[in-house]
Amino acid sequence: MSGPHIGVLALQGDVREHLAALRAVGAHAVPVRRHAELESVDALLLPGGESTTMSLLLRELELADPLRARLADGMPAYGSCAGMILLASEIADAGAEGRAALALAGIDMTVRRNAFGRQVDSFEGDIEFDGLDEPVHAVFIRAPWVERTGPGVQVLAEAAGHPVAVRQGPVLATSFHPEVTGDRRIHRLFVDIVTGQA
C-alpha cells in the first residue's frame, strides 16, 4: 500500500475501528504494542479507551518514554477521547498516584477527564469543525474537554463552551469518537497532516 505507515496504539480501546477508518482513507495502518513497532511507523493514533489503564500499560511495556521522545521529535499523532488526554501537557484530574494518567505533552493544553460526566451522561450531536464544510456528528463517551490551550494550539471545534478538537502542528486531538460514525473526514484530515497536505 502506498499510503503513510500509521500505527494505532493497541493496548486497549477502539483499536479495530481506528485501523479500519485509517485504511478506508488510504493509510497503511498497523497495531502498535512494542517499541520496535512504534519506531517503524510514520505517525501514531491513540484511540479512546480508559486513560489510566492505557497509561499503566504504556509504563509496563516501557513505551511511555519512547513515545514522549517521538512526539518531541515531531512525529504526527492523533488522539481521540482517552488519546486526547494522553496527548495533553497537563491533566487537571490525572488520578491517584501510581495509577495517574500520563501526560505525553504532544499538545500544549490542560485536559479534564470525564468532563462531560459519567457513562450515563454520554451524548452525541452535530458540531461545527473548522475547515470542514458540513458539521461533524460527534459521539461523546465519558469524554474529556480542554480547559487551557497554549499559544500554538488551534481550536477546531467546541461543545458546551469548551474546546473538543484541537491541533498543534502535526498533532491532532478530539474528545469525541469519529471512528464509530462512519464519517471518515477527521481520519482523512489526520492522513493529510501526516503527508504534509494539511
Whole-number Å distance between alpha carbons of 174 and 83: 8
Question: How many helices (H) and strands (E) would you count in the chain?
Answer: 6, 12
Residue 85 backbone dihedrals phi, psi, to 5 degrees: -60, -45
The residue count of the chain comes to: 198
**And the C-alpha cell for 81?**
477521547
Angle at 153 between CA 147 and CA 155, to 5 degrees: 65
- The Cα 183–Cα 25 span in angstroms is 11
Query: Is residue 111 within 8 Å of 78, Cβ to Cβ?
Result: no
Cα(94)–Cα(52) distance, integer angstroms: 8
Q: Which residues are marked as active site? A: 81, 177, 179
